[in-house]
Amino acid sequence: MTLQAWHIDPARTRDLAPRLLDAAGAPRVVPAAALANTTPEERLRFGVEHGIYAFPTEELVAFLRDFIGGRSAIEIGAGHGRLAAALGIPATDNRQREEPAMRAYYAALGQPTVRYGAHVEKLDAAEAVAKYRPQLVIAAWVTHRFDAAQPQAGGSETGVDERAIIRACEAFVFIGNTQVHAHKPILSLPHRRIEPPWLRSRAINGTADFIGIWEAPGARQVLPKAVPAGRAGDTR
């Protein structure tokens, strides 16, 4: 496994797989304390080696479960699907990294592709919302759709039309990283943002991971009780 592009030396970083993967090799939902004594380099190594971007901690699950309440919800871009499974909601993904061309691309980078959970339904974001018509949509580290009118924002031609998702549901919850997702176009829309201390990802840039919440006008305003001490903001 090559990690040269990330300047990570496996000989100088611990392998976190024994504490973060179950016997079947799927991500475990662990307390944030399980990651407290790990380094960004170790988390990046684990993320690259196992195709994982955001860590499904018990605190994140509790936060989302509290926010969902009794409302219908789905996860898009679910990847391994462990977060959705812990929440008891449908997990969906376009599963594009199963395609031969994508496998070849990631193989050239020295990375494995995402190991999709067997329960993750093959639907892109628009198809998933059309099928389930959820009140809430949850997404972690999804790539937004490229817009030729905003080339500086980056994105992907197969990415998620996040503005359309926001228009189609009561609330859209995005889990990401400040620097990695700095150019996400929907950040210009009114939303709530929190940076809880228990949120963890494979980002190695030193900026905060965050949860953004975009809500439809007139939607029931919910701030989960699971929000701990940490930075919270409102960009309305």
Position 3 in a domain: no
Domain range for 127: 53-101+114-234
How far is residue 51 from each of residues 47, 79, 115, 160, measured CA to CA in Å? 5, 9, 7, 19
Task: Give the pLDDT confidence of 93-137 residue by residue, as tens digits.
Answer: 998 777 777 767 766 766 676 788 899 999 999 999 999 999 999
Asked if 74 and 89 touch (Cβ cutoff 8 Å), the reply is: yes
> The tokens 């701030």 sit on which residue?
223
Residue 14 lies in a domain: no
Report residue 144 CA to chain centroid gap.
12
Helices (H), the chain: 17-20, 40-50, 58-68, 82-87, 100-109, 125-132, 162-168
Give the pLDDT of residue 218.
Answer: 63
The single-letter code of the amino acid at 178 is: T
Residue 13 lies inside a defined structural domain of this protein: no
Domain count, the chain: 1
Looking at residue 219, its pLDDT comes to 60
Q: Read off the pTM.
A: 0.87
In a domain, 108, yes or no: no
Is residue 16 one of the residues assigned to a domain?
no
Q: How far apart are CA 7 and CA 15, in angstroms?
A: 16
Share of the chain above pLDDT 90, in %: 68
- Per residue in 60-103, pLDDT tens? 999 999 999 999 999 999 999 999 999 999 999 998 777 777 76
Across the chain, mean pLDDT equals: 87
Contact between 160 and 169 (Cβ < 8 Å): no
Is residue 225 within 8 Å of 186, Cβ to Cβ? no
Does any domain span residue 8?
no
210 belongs to a structural domain: yes
- Cα 79 to Cα 227: distance, rounded to the nearest angstrom: 25
CATH number of domain containing 228 = 3.40.50
Check if the beta carbon of residue 128 is closer than 8 Å to that of residue 63: no
